[in-house]
Chains A and B, each alone.
Chain A
Amino acid sequence: MNPNRDHYPKGEALHRSLSRRYRSASIWQTLFFSALVIAILSLAALLYNVVDGAFGYVAFEYKNDPSEFTSKALDDLNKQELLDILTTNLSSGAFKKLDNEKAMEKRSKSDLYTLVLERLIQIDTKQTWSMTDSIFRSSEIKAEVAKKYPDAKLEFRSWLTPVFLTTPMSSKAEFAGVRTAILGSLWMVGIAILFALPIGTGAAIYLQEYASKNFLNRVIQTNINNLAGVPSIVYGMLGLAIFVRALEPFTSGSMFGVTDSNGRTILSAGLTMGTLVLPLIIINAQEAIKAVPDSLRQAAFGVGATRWQTVWHHVLPNALPGILTGSILAVSRAIGETAPLIVVGASTFISLDPEGPFSKFTALPIQIYQWTTRAQSEFHSIAASAIIVLLILLLSLNATAVLLRNRVQRKY
């Protein structure tokens, strides 16, 4: 056969055709990259949107003028003076109730200051503005406020404050905090992990170290992979049917003499969430166990160890960092999950700290959901603040997981 090279571009033509190919390649490459740019922009927009909502101008009026209670400016009062104002102006019943929740003398100055504002002066928020508007349209906003609410004060406010973290729920956005929600989330996640970690690790050990390749074990494996893809709201329905309803005597605590509760407790939520993260924990633990080199097992068997001795003394200690990393990821999943909690009946208005597994509860994402769906903009502001709290929590959890993972990687 005589190769006929005439049909291919040559010389100048070849150069031209090649540079055409390169040009279209670089256009497409730019397009591919722009997908990542869009992802980055979305993330930036999301974070910006949240921060934008958590700070900004707020126009409010005092229902009762501060001068009715004190001659000084409110900010100049010291702790004792604040306490005196509360003592003289609150009804004795209201004062006792607050005192019972936490002794008045022991409360911090900012706590008392908040009480004075909330209970006596009573703030009425008229309107809030986003951070961007507050910065760039400052004068317009001032003019607008002067016209629409002549009596109102305008203040640049950070909705995310230390007080926000430490105060319980309130029906007024200005005084609401996420304390009960954070505690509820922690309780719920604690129970979930307590339930899912041992069982999940056990299942992973079984599948990796004991299970032969028979039909049942293949079914188990496929089943676990599928459970990981079941929508979280379906887990919520399962929790509602089983934990809240069928196991009510147990989850409400009535079996243990607790009377004032139904099945919609922290325990039910924790178990539901535990069921939800179980497949995740199993799959991660399996990966961690898989990564332990086989030579280690052979060495242990070689000196006459039983299977469990091998697992307990050699496989597990080496897989532990990986298993922990997996559980941290499971924890962050559980902390952010909202839908199952709605279904199993997280309460939206709880101002008392949860006392134990049989308490009613609320959780951080539930609060975010509630506040986001309210119409008034001040609730959007505290939703944004709660989101920041949630994201910081998740970020620190994930940073821990990454650190752990890196330590494992260095080892082998």
Chain B
Amino acid sequence: MENIQTPEYAIETKNLFIFYGSFPAVSEVNMRIEKQKVTAIIGPSGCGKSTLLRAFNRMNDFVPSSYVTGEILLQGQNLYGKDIDPVEVRRKIGMVFQKPNPFPKSIYENISWGAKINGFKGNMDELVEQSLRGAALWEEVKDKLKKSAYELSGGQQQRLCIARTIAIQPEIILMDEPASALDPISTLRIEELMQELKQNYTIIIVTHNMQQAARVSDYTAMMMLEKDGSRSGTVIEFSETKKIFTNPKDKRTEDYVTGRFG
């Protein structure tokens, strides 16, 4: 009964370590991610940002050597608990990847498929339209819903991936460098989209773009390799974005966000 948690947190990690074989890619992460806010994870390449993000919806299960210790709690339930079904976890925590990866199906089916397999009972056309509107794509594709998703531009494909994620109406949306393969205008649209989406969803985004983090996020987690030479990454500072960018506690954070890093 200790499971009843303070409800304002979307996700909470406790003493989280993530291993690839014997290599601890991420060590000792303790953070509480707020509901209906955008949280950015920043840090140098290879420090474990993607690893941490993928741990949140158990995508790391597909790397056979990987495992975690510690806890990731969603509404008080440990995502890595014995009786937890990873499929249900992913149903609640959607993900948008770095490179757009639409299915080789029509635009319509890209969205309806996830809904269908998850037992959606409502009006499918409505859902497709709603989701596409939600991803700010409706106006551009409403006349070619039956066309292959591969005919869209990269930026449109990425918004389609966001649309298909919100179609299954998860609680949390994870985004791993969602705009890194896109041009500035598409990037801007995705950033605007995030601002809208956070009214209803909790968003966690990994980005290499400091300005982007500063623009879109409410909270920022700064990750770094640990100083002890283990090449293992950890969260060295986690607080409001404003604070990270104007008044960081950690010297390394300051160096990184002001571009003096390395």
- Touch A–B, Cβ below 8 Å: yes
Residues of A in contact with B (beta carbons under 8 Å apart): 1-9, 13-14, 17-18, 21
Query: Shortest distance in angstroms between A311's beta carbon and chain B's nearest beta carbon?
Result: 39
Number of A-B contacts (CB under 8 A): 35
Closest A-chain residue to B166, C-beta based? Answer: A3
A140 to B200, CA, bound (A): 82
Q: A2-B200, A3-B200, A18-B87 are in contact. Are A8 and B118 (CB under 8 A)?
A: yes
What are 25 A-B contacts defined by CB distance under 8 Å? Answer: A1-B130, A1-B134, A1-B200, A2-B200, A3-B166, A3-B169, A3-B200, A4-B122, A4-B169, A6-B122, A7-B120, A7-B121, A7-B122, A7-B127, A8-B118, A8-B119, A8-B121, A8-B168, A9-B119, A9-B121, A14-B119, A18-B85, A18-B87, A18-B88, A21-B117
17 more A-B residue pairs beyond the given contacts A9-B118, A9-B119, with a C-beta to C-beta distance below 8 A: A1-B134, A2-B200, A3-B166, A3-B200, A3-B201, A5-B169, A7-B120, A7-B127, A8-B118, A8-B119, A8-B121, A8-B168, A8-B169, A9-B121, A17-B119, A18-B85, A21-B117
A280 to B43, CA, bound (A): 52
Chain B positions within 8 Å of A3 at CB level:
166, 169, 200-201
B98-126: CB near A (< 8 Å → 1, else 0) gives 00000000000000000001111110000
Q: Does B133 have its Cβ within 8 Å of any Cβ on chain A? A: yes
Chain A positions within 8 Å of B121 at CB level:
7-9
Segment 228-245 of B: residues with Cβ below 8 Å from A: none
Which of B85, B120, B122, B133 lies in contact with A1, CB distance below 8 A? B133
B50-94: CB near A (< 8 Å → 1, else 0) gives 000000000000000000000000000000000001011000000
Chain A positions within 8 Å of B133 at CB level:
1
Query: Shortest distance in angstroms between B64's beta carbon and chain A's nearest beta carbon?
Result: 18
Chain A positions within 8 Å of B127 at CB level:
7
Would you call B88 and A14 a contact (CB within 8 A)? yes
Residues of B in contact with A (beta carbons under 8 Å apart): 85, 87-88, 117-122, 127, 130, 133-134, 166, 168-169, 196, 200-201
Interface of A is mostly: helix
Listed residue (B118, B120, B196, B200) with the most chain A CB atoms within 10 angstroms of its CB? B118
Chain B positions within 8 Å of A4 at CB level:
122, 169
Chain A positions within 8 Å of B168 at CB level:
8
Chain B positions within 8 Å of A5 at CB level:
169
Closest A-chain residue to B87, C-beta based? Answer: A18
Query: Shortest distance in angstroms between A328's beta carbon and chain B's nearest beta carbon?
Result: 33
7 closest A-B pairs by CB:
A7-B122, A17-B119, A1-B134, A3-B169, A9-B119, A5-B169, A7-B121
Closest A-chain residue to B135, C-beta based? Answer: A1
A3 to B200, CA, bound (A): 7
Closest A-chain residue to B124, C-beta based? Answer: A7
Chain B positions within 8 Å of A14 at CB level:
88, 119
A21 to B117, CA, bound (A): 9
Chain B positions within 8 Å of A2 at CB level:
200
Query: Shortest distance in angstroms between A320's beta carbon and chain B's nearest beta carbon?
Result: 35
Closest A-chain residue to B127, C-beta based? Answer: A7
Chain B positions within 8 Å of A9 at CB level:
118-119, 121
Would you call B120 and A8 a contact (CB within 8 A)? yes
A38 to B196, CA, bound (A): 55
Closest B-chain residue to A9, C-beta based? Answer: B119
Query: Shortest distance in angstroms between B131's beta carbon and chain A's nearest beta carbon?
Result: 8
Closest B-chain residue to A1, C-beta based? Answer: B134
A110 to B118, CA, bound (A): 76
Closest A-chain residue to B85, C-beta based? Answer: A18
A1 to B196, CA, bound (A): 9
A12 to B128, CA, bound (A): 26
A4 to B87, CA, bound (A): 21
Chain A positions within 8 Å of B120 at CB level:
7-8
A13 to B118, CA, bound (A): 11
